[in-house]
Structure 1
């Protein structure tokens, strides 16, 4: 598909003030992002009614381009990043929507590798909030949208405005009732399933898989990377009952490790040469297989992605905060956003295999996560734990986390640090190599601190 020129921004037009529900302040371009952030107080509200009303009021931007929905417990963002890089290497204009962000809200909404500009985000937010206010006033919405619903609607609108050739959309939570599921996606991909968000998705892998399978729609081609038979059966049955085409990423493929750090994939479509992935960790091999099978299905349905572009996507992909190695002031810092036991186990396996372990673990965990499962996965590689808390009310206080960790890892030393930056002080870690993990909020705050310098 030919590249299109991005439409120009509307400029610095005065924005009409509006209100979002009773008792809220007026919104202009200058205040729109602050108002948007305040929507987080509405928390998580599963369901498609609100996002459906928002996109209908915007003349359905989600129907302006073909789209891919990517669900799963771990590996969604990494897989989206590989597919994004490959599609762009193939000459396509790509919209990418992911969550949460590490450092800036703009990271969530990306076109051709560039985050949405701040003025454009303000303008889109002002427009979205105005529409939401009108919907509340007319009774179409009983409450304002959640933060995630609002950001999703903004992303869909921005992608239409930028005339993308294809949009890659990472599901936020689950699948069936996630705001992204309002999109009539042509393709879907479901990555590995693990225990996370049980309060919303259920307490078993089967229940969680069924929620993820909620993205499967009639006439969709959906790729899955799960290899457990019970979970594969859930996806197969969901696809059959809804008139979708199911692609088991493992069927007819060979995934092999070549040497210490290269991967080779052979499918029924193509035998790819060995490649060194742009992302670190053996667990990324499964994500790469999913991305390859997704791209092959897209190529067979009119979105040209030659093998050379697929290889570029695997080789040149960048996805910060996932086994990211940073050298700062002579120290090596591993940053990984692992926030559930499966992701923590993958991190531990890599650090063990690479010889980096044992090492100090700077740890923060949100209060809705499986703290015990995460800590037990990390304990074998920890020389000590330094417990801290990023600047979010969801974080377990550092002293409370330290008590929990101490009970699980005795006699491994456990310390606390008032802030993530303080956690890296020599008197806390006493080591030249450190791992920072447990929360994407912690990793994001640490990246901001490292960017600022000493």
Structure 2
């Protein structure tokens, strides 16, 4: 586990501190941070501004992680920036400075910031990779820090309580910035976030959300609150009008849709086409919200068949229990080239929850089997548990 940001800062220093010229909105949290980043990006672009967005992980191509004006950068541009960041890493090794201990994510983040620093951006929207306090992205300053929510995840790194995890996530908040969050001050995690903000004399902004607000509604409310705050602080669109949440109109929200996040697809089977939803939810808290929202969808009739793979550090029992509460059946599989729960072990956990369950270790074969079962049952298919699984199988589905 890393103990400081010195390797990342050394890389950036060797690259000419490209982050120094950027106005940054920094976004962390357990779920929704990628979608909130995309919505903020869309709102800023709707205001006529030049925007860069850094995201992780990617679904199909590493270039998805570095976007300019809503589009992934060209392969050659990212390759050149990566080469420069690797050169900085090698130079640090020769000189014996902190950058010699930089991770691959440090190098990739430094490359992204180099691209952004040279792109004459109005704003950079930066998504946290893991946690926040010690994440590579925390080498940047920001005017707004967003913590979408906090649930138990990566507990071996971030801590075993929501309070401990909140302390890591709210570590992205800097003096002079505002904190935007859904966390209530009387919540275990929210109290930690509020205390951090108070210690730094930072304002805390919370959206007003109705009970049972959907994932899309929550994400849009957070993004809109960021835009409204920036507008009140004097940030302007290209035409000179203050930034505001109304820039997130229907067209902007539609453009912010990301692959693998409540993404609607379909598959052809011998007995007909099957509706498919791709979603990289990997913690029970997130999956429960996904299933709640999908249960409201009138175009997903019949039972859910879920194709599931999970990394080894995920709460498999809790994840499958969430599926059981929604009456799903399961085809358990494994992620390509990644250590995770064995398909047979997932099947056993699902069966213990009273679900119909099968195990198909190869993900492509598992997708075919799950789609066939969904078709036979007159239902729909959910591919979930990991964005890596979604990325490996997305091309086998149709828009």
Instruction: Give me the TM-score of the superposition, normalised by structure 1.
Output: 0.79
Q: Where in structure 2 are there 5+ consecutive unaligned residues? A: 237-242
Q: After the TM superposition, which residues 216-365 of structure 1 pair with which residues of structure 2 at under 5 Å, given as runs? A: 216-227=173-184, 229-230=186-187, 231-250=189-208, 255=210, 282-304=214-236, 305-311=243-249, 312-329=251-268, 330-354=273-297, 356=300, 358-365=303-310
CA shift, 1:212, in A, is 1.1
Q: Give the number of aligned pairs.
A: 381
1:370-404: CA deviation from partner (whole Å, max 9, x where unpaired): 11111111112344210111213223232232233
Indicate how the Cα distance of structure 1 residues 347 and 106 shifts in structure 2: closer, same or farther if over 3 A, else same: same
Aligned to 2:239: none
Decide whether the 8 Å contact of 1:339 with 1:439 is kept in 2. yes
Indicate how the Cα distance of structure 1 residues 431 and 142 shifts in structure 2: closer, same or farther if over 3 A, else same: closer
CA distance in 2, matches of 1:316, 1:211: 31
Decide whether the 8 Å contact of 2:309 with 2:334 is kept in 1. yes
Indicate how the Cα distance of structure 1 residues 345 and 192 shifts in structure 2: closer, same or farther if over 3 A, else same: same
Q: Where in structure 1 are there 5+ consecutive unaligned residues? A: 1-43, 258-280
Aligned to 2:166: 209
CA distance in 2, matches of 1:74, 1:192: 7
CA distance in 2, matches of 1:415, 1:282: 31
Indicate how the Cα distance of structure 1 residues 190 and 383 shifts in structure 2: closer, same or farther if over 3 A, else same: closer
1:17-68: CA deviation from partner (whole Å, max 9, x where unpaired): xxxxxxxxxxxxxxxxxxxxxxxxxxx6353111111101111111111001
Indicate how the Cα distance of structure 1 residues 429 and 375 shifts in structure 2: closer, same or farther if over 3 A, else same: farther
Aligned to 2:384: 437
Q: After the TM superposition, which residues 23-422 of structure 1 pair with which residues of structure 2 at under 5 Å, given as runs? A: 45=2, 47-141=4-98, 143-227=100-184, 229-230=186-187, 231-250=189-208, 255=210, 282-304=214-236, 305-311=243-249, 312-329=251-268, 330-354=273-297, 356=300, 358-407=303-352, 409-410=353-354, 412-422=355-365
Instruction: Describe the SS at the equivalent of 1:99.
Output: coil
Instruction: Give me the TM-score of the superposition, normalised by structure 2.
Output: 0.90
CA shift, 1:193, in A, is 1.1
Indicate how the Cα distance of structure 1 residues 80 and 347 shifts in structure 2: closer, same or farther if over 3 A, else same: same
CA shift, 1:162, in A, is 1.2
1:290-325: CA deviation from partner (whole Å, max 9, x where unpaired): 111111111122322245413253354211211111
Which range moved further: 151-160 or 412-421?
A: 412-421
Decide whether the 8 Å contact of 1:384 with 1:429 is kept in 2. no
CA shift, 1:172, in A, is 1.0
Instruction: Describe the SS at the equivalent of 2:204.
Output: strand
CA distance in 1, matches of 2:344, 2:254: 42
Indicate how the Cα distance of structure 1 residues 282 and 427 shifts in structure 2: closer, same or farther if over 3 A, else same: closer
